[in-house]
Structure 1
Amino acid sequence: LAGVVAVAPPLRVLPVDALRAPRDGRPTLVLSPAHDQFCDPDQAAAAVEGWPSTTVEPVVGCDHFLAGGVQRVVDRVLTFVDDL
Structure 2
Amino acid sequence: MIVSPSERARQIYASPNGDHWHLLFDPTTGHSFVRHTGNVASGGHVTDFSLATFLASGRNGPEHQELWRLIATLVGEDGPRPGLRDSA
- Does TM, scored on the shorter chain, surpass 0.5? no
Structure possessing the higher radius of gyration over alpha carbons: 2
Q: Which has a greater percent of helix?
A: 1
TM-score by length of 2: 0.23
Question: What TM-score results when the alignment is normalised by the length of structure 1?
Answer: 0.23
Higher relative contact order (CA 8 A, sep 6+): 1
Greater share of strand = 2
